[in-house]
Amino acid sequence: MPKLKCVCSEVINLSEIPSPHQYLMISDQKYDNFQGLVDTEVLYREMIITVKCPTCSRLHIFENGFDNPAITYQLES
């Protein structure tokens, strides 16, 4: 997914690696399963991809990967 169109009409370019708009989240429980030296690829697969719009700060959370629709959250001023 090289681009994402936000509700505010901003087109977010995700082709730059690493992307300044992409964040990775992991639950506390899943994180606690990792101890000692960690294989970053295994850790990455457990993370949820989140994209932050640089214009309106909406968060687009791809909990089930880029192949499924994002859950979008809007900042409450």
How confident is the model at residue 35, as a pLDDT?
A: 87
Strand stretches in 7-76, DSSP E:
11-13, 22-25, 48-52, 59-62, 71-73
Arithmetic mean of pLDDT over the chain? 93
72: its two tokens:
């979008």
- Which sign does the torsion angle of CA 33, 38, 41, 47 carry? positive
Q: Note the pLDDT tens digit of each residue in 7-32.
A: 999 999 999 999 999 999 999 999 99
The ranges assigned to domains in the chain are 3-73
